[in-house]
Structure 1
Amino acid sequence: MIRIYRSGCAACEGVEMVGTDWTLPPDTLWIDLIEPTREEDTAIEQALGLSIPTREEMSELEASSRLYRENGATYVTADIIHNSEMELPTVDPVTFILTHGPLVTIRYFDPRPFTMFTDKLEREPYLCESGADMFLNLMEAIIDRASEVLSRTAHKVEGVSTHIFSGADTTVGYRHLITKLGRAQIANSRIEQSLAGLSRVFAFVALDERLEMNADKREHLKSLGRDASSLLAHSQAVAAGITFQLSATLGLINIQQSSIFKVLSLVTMALMPPTLIGAIYGMNFEHMPELTWWWGYPLALGLMALSSAIPLMWFKRKGWF
């Protein structure tokens, strides 16, 4: 699918069909390729005289495949967070091509920052005057969204920390807490991956003449770079907090288990002498009235069941299982 945004328009226009006679409107500021077909790739390549990377090329991890210049255009690929409303957000690559004309983006999913940015364009149709403006404002939306996701993850981690160190008996919930910490760590690592990639993108794009030669755009880009660096530092602090809380949780589990084993050891030691005496002398007496009781056997079975049930009920009340 091809969507184009033209100067002064209130919304992106969808291109229904491209053919050999299709031409790009001269006032186009942004070309958004969403899961493009080969025909759509070819049409844009012919219109701009540039090559469009494939999905496989976008997924490559080496820097030379993600940050490069070709035919006067700057190609950058960054991992963008999406599905952030779920417990485990995901990251997928998006390629941005800065040309002397419009900005070109290639993506195979629908991240929230793109929707936020198009909504903003509807409210402010004259927000951007060039493809470079489009790039900077779109990156600002991506950074804002990453900040929101990171803040939500940090809040979850803080909630777990409060629960762990509240002083209440949290033995029963330890498995749940460890699961939440593990999910928070995965989410945070993906946020960190995205922010690290964005920092590299900003450093590389800073050398592009379309941004380097314009003081306002250059300052805007530096501001985005500082935001990405500060969020990256915050993400690393969250990761350190998760590691500490996970270690603390495991330590508290060990303390609880040690306390349980201490109680069981004391109970066992207390019952060993009477058990030993009963085992040696319990059946070695001539006069045992219980042998003639008609309800003696059921009574013994009931006492066995009761003696097993009482410790189990006590263990459950203590939260040991």
Structure 2
Amino acid sequence: MLNVLRRGTHGFQTESAGADWRPGPDVVWIDLVRPTREEEFAVETALGLELPTRDEMEALEPSTRLYQEDGATFMTATLLAHSSAPKPHATPATFVVGKGVLVTVRYEKLRAFEVFGERVREGEAQSAVSALLGLLDAVVERLAEVLGRAGDSVEAASLSIFQRPQSGNFRPLLTDLAHAQSVIALTRNSLVSLARLLSFAALAPEISGDPERRAHLDSLQRDAQSLTEHASYQSSHVSFLLDAALGLINIEQNGIIKFFSVVAVVFLPPTLVASIYGMNFDRMPELHWPLGYPFALVLMVISAVLPILWFKRRGWL
């Protein structure tokens, strides 16, 4: 799909890109979402640029992700997609600034792009560079929002772990923590990738020669750095909570085993007494004794109480 933003208009316009497609002089931003080869070829022909393939976008080498060619600056970052879904994942997104337009290539729906689309309706993004900086603002804000939501989830899990009733179910808590850890890790990777993009964007001729744009970019870099540090803290907090949850599980399991061990030890001596007097021998001193039965019962009670007193004295109960 090929979306076009024109200067002075509100919102995107979806266009069909044929072989003779050309952007008008008022085009500010060309957004390619899951583009076909025909759409890529049309944009490349119209602008005289060679857009990176999906394999090049997913590569980790800086030479294929951040470079300048044919008077344009090519920058690819790995962004978080579907953060609220059960299985969030990372997806590459390419930003190209040159020939007076901003070109973005992506293969997933990204919330930051939709948020920035709402801002465009308010009259922002009157040039390619302002569109780029505004879009990067939206990306950073979206990652901050995702981190904030993950932090709330982690805090709720923390309260549930340390204030939960005894013998409660830990499975939902561990599931929530695992999902939060996955989102935080993917968000941190996105921020690291975005930080590299922001550093390279300062080399773009459209930005390097403008102090105001450089200051805006520096502010974005500081935001990305602080969010990266916050993501690292959140990740360590989740690791602590996972260890705490596993520790509490072990404590409860040890308590259960301890209970059954004490019960087994307490009933072992009475069982021994009952086994002895349950033997079918003719010559047993207490067999015909009138007080034999009460004597056996008292002996079993004493043999059960003595281990309990011993455990309490040792501090095991």
TM-score (norm 2): 0.85
Match for residue 10 of structure 1? 10
- What's the secondary structure of 2:170's corresponding residue? helix
Q: 2:203 aligns with which of 196, 207, 211?
A: 207
Match for residue 249 of structure 2? 253
Q: 1:225 aligns with which of 221, 227, 231?
A: 221
- What is the CA distance between 1:278 and its match in structure 2? 2.3
Match for residue 112 of structure 2? 113
Match for residue 134 of structure 1? 131
- What is the CA distance between 1:285 and its match in structure 2? 6.9
Match for residue 54 of structure 2? 55
Tell me, yes or no, if the aligned pair for 1:4 and 1:31 is still in contact at 8 Å: yes
Tell me, yes or no, if the aligned pair for 2:17 and 2:42 is still in contact at 8 Å: no
Structure 1 counterpart of 2:175, which letter? T
For 1:14 and 1:159, locate their aligned partners in 2 and report how far apart those are by CA, in whole Å.
Answer: 42
For 2:142 and 2:87, locate their aligned partners in 1 and report how far apart those are by CA, in whole Å.
Answer: 15
Tell me, yes or no, if the aligned pair for 2:3 and 2:14 is still in contact at 8 Å: yes
Map 1:171-186; keep pairs closer than 5 Å. 171-186=167-182
Map 1:171-320; keep pairs closer than 5 Å. 171-284=167-280
Q: Number of aligned residue pairs: give it.
A: 282
Tell me, yes or no, if the aligned pair for 2:17 and 2:38 is still in contact at 8 Å: no
Match for residue 44 of structure 1? 43
- What's the secondary structure of 1:50's corresponding residue? coil
Tell me, yes or no, if the aligned pair for 2:2 and 2:32 is still in contact at 8 Å: yes
Match for residue 317 of structure 1? none
For 2:246 and 2:36, locate their aligned partners in 1 and report how far apart those are by CA, in whole Å.
Answer: 51
Match for residue 143 of structure 1? 140
* RMSD of equivalent CA atoms: 1.5
Match for residue 80 of structure 1? 79
- What is the CA distance between 1:170 and its match in structure 2? 4.2
Structure 2 counterpart of 1:5, which letter? L
> After alignment, is 253-262 or 129-138 more displaced?
253-262
Match for residue 149 of structure 2? 152
Match for residue 293 of structure 2? none
Structure 2's unaligned 5+ residue stretches are: 283-317
* Bigger Cα Rg: 2
For 1:74 and 1:197, locate their aligned partners in 2 and report how far apart those are by CA, in whole Å.
Answer: 16
Structure 1 counterpart of 2:29, which letter? W
Match for residue 30 of structure 1? 29
- What is the CA distance between 1:63 and its match in structure 2? 1.8
Tell me, yes or no, if the aligned pair for 1:192 and 1:235 is still in contact at 8 Å: yes
Structure 2 counterpart of 1:190, which letter? L
1:221-263, Cα deviation, whole Å (9 max, x unpaired): 1111111111111100000101111111111122222222221
- What's the secondary structure of 1:31's corresponding residue? strand
- What's the secondary structure of 2:220's corresponding residue? helix
For 2:16 and 2:111, locate their aligned partners in 1 and report how far apart those are by CA, in whole Å.
Answer: 23
Tell me, yes or no, if the aligned pair for 2:157 and 2:173 is still in contact at 8 Å: yes
Structure 2 counterpart of 1:150, which letter? L
1:189-227, Cα deviation, whole Å (9 max, x unpaired): 011111111111101111112111111111111111111
Structure 2 counterpart of 1:121, which letter? V
- What's the secondary structure of 2:30's corresponding residue? strand
Match for residue 95 of structure 2? 96
Structure 1 counterpart of 2:95, which letter? F
- What is the CA distance between 1:3 and its match in structure 2? 1.2
Tell me, yes or no, if the aligned pair for 1:164 and 1:170 is still in contact at 8 Å: no
For 2:82 and 2:119, locate their aligned partners in 1 and report how far apart those are by CA, in whole Å.
Answer: 21
- What is the CA distance between 1:10 and its match in structure 2? 1.0
For 1:28 and 1:209, locate their aligned partners in 2 and report how far apart those are by CA, in whole Å.
Answer: 20
1:85-130, Cα deviation, whole Å (9 max, x unpaired): 2244322111010113100000111111111111111122xx2232
Structure 2 counterpart of 1:107, which letter? R
Match for residue 309 of structure 1? none
For 2:152 and 2:25, locate their aligned partners in 1 and report how far apart those are by CA, in whole Å.
Answer: 47
- What's the secondary structure of 2:146's corresponding residue? helix
- What's the secondary structure of 2:95's corresponding residue? strand
- What is the CA distance between 1:283 and its match in structure 2? 4.8
For 2:53 and 2:166, locate their aligned partners in 1 and report how far apart those are by CA, in whole Å.
Answer: 51
For 1:62 and 1:171, locate their aligned partners in 2 and report how far apart those are by CA, in whole Å.
Answer: 50
Q: 2:158 aligns with which of 137, 158, 161?
A: 161
